[in-house]
Amino acid sequence: MAARNDLRSAIHFQMDRLTPFDANEVFWGASQPRRDETRLKLTLHVLPRSRIEWLLGRLAGIGLEPSILEDGADGTRLARLGNRRNPFLVTRLGICAALVLGCLLVPLISQQRRLQATEYQLQVLMPVQRQIMQLQAQIADQTTVQNLLSQTQRDSALRTLALLTAALPDGTWLSDVTVTGDRVSFDGQSRDAAQLMLALTATPGLQNVSFVAPVTRAPEGGADAFSIQLSVSR
């Protein structure tokens, strides 16, 4: 009874016991089995392949390809022959499939190669970009420092000029002023160079006041020409 679940396989494996032939030597089919209490009863139709293969070859030679082989008595199907495939057709179909696959893959492969080339270029350029960014940061820092120094220098010069302006007495004017760090030197004329020296010395923030050259007085009671240097405290 277990054979009923896969009757065709059971008959195939026992063909050499049921018939004088091996299963590969025959076309065969079985009628619908009838069941009694202990058995399955059926009619087995067998046709040796040698009896029919020459005919199949003749039919193929004239372009006919039978698909089913049946027993003419009761229509029992002996075999499903299937359509014989043209090997050239299969080859052509394979070539067409390969071409279609190539058409689909070539753009993808090309795009993948471009992506890989771009990634490689990015990897090469990343260190250069980092160096550029570091240089830009350094330049920005240097520019900031220079700006601060320039601003400090300007503030210092303005502070020095403000101190000199406040310290110079009336009747004094300057013709040249040079500021170098904390050192200041200037030339000019004053109605009284001695009073000018006293005023500068008494001004907070001005130190080490001294004449660079002897004071010269203009004829007929003119102004004193002087050249003075000093230092400015911070």
In angstroms, the CA 205 to CA 166 distance is 11
* Strand-pair partners of 164: none
CB neighbours of 17 closer than 8 A, spacing ≥ 6? none
Q: Residue 54 corresponds to which amino acid? A: W
pLDDT at residue 195 is higher than 70: yes
CATH topology of domain 157-232: Gyrase A; domain 2 (3.30.1360)
pLDDT at residue 69 is higher than 70: yes
Mean pLDDT of the chain: 80
pLDDT at residue 151 is higher than 80: no
Q: What is the pLDDT of residue 146?
A: 62
Q: Looking at the whole model, is its pTM more than 0.85?
A: no
In angstroms, the CA 168 to CA 201 distance is 11
Each residue's pLDDT tens digit, 115-129 = 888 888 888 788 877
Q: How many CB atoms lie within 10 A of CB 228?
A: 22
Q: What is the pLDDT of residue 231?
A: 86
Q: Residue 132 corresponds to which amino acid? A: I
Query: Residue 144's pLDDT band (boundaries 50, 70, 90)?
Result: low
More confident residue, 172 or 221: 172
Q: How many CB atoms lie within 10 A of CB 31?
A: 14
Q: What is the pLDDT of residue 114?
A: 85
Domain coordinates of the chain in residue numbers?
2-87, 157-232
* CA dist 72 → 45, 66, 69, 142, 148 (Å): 11, 15, 9, 106, 113
- Which tokens is 122 given? 């990015």
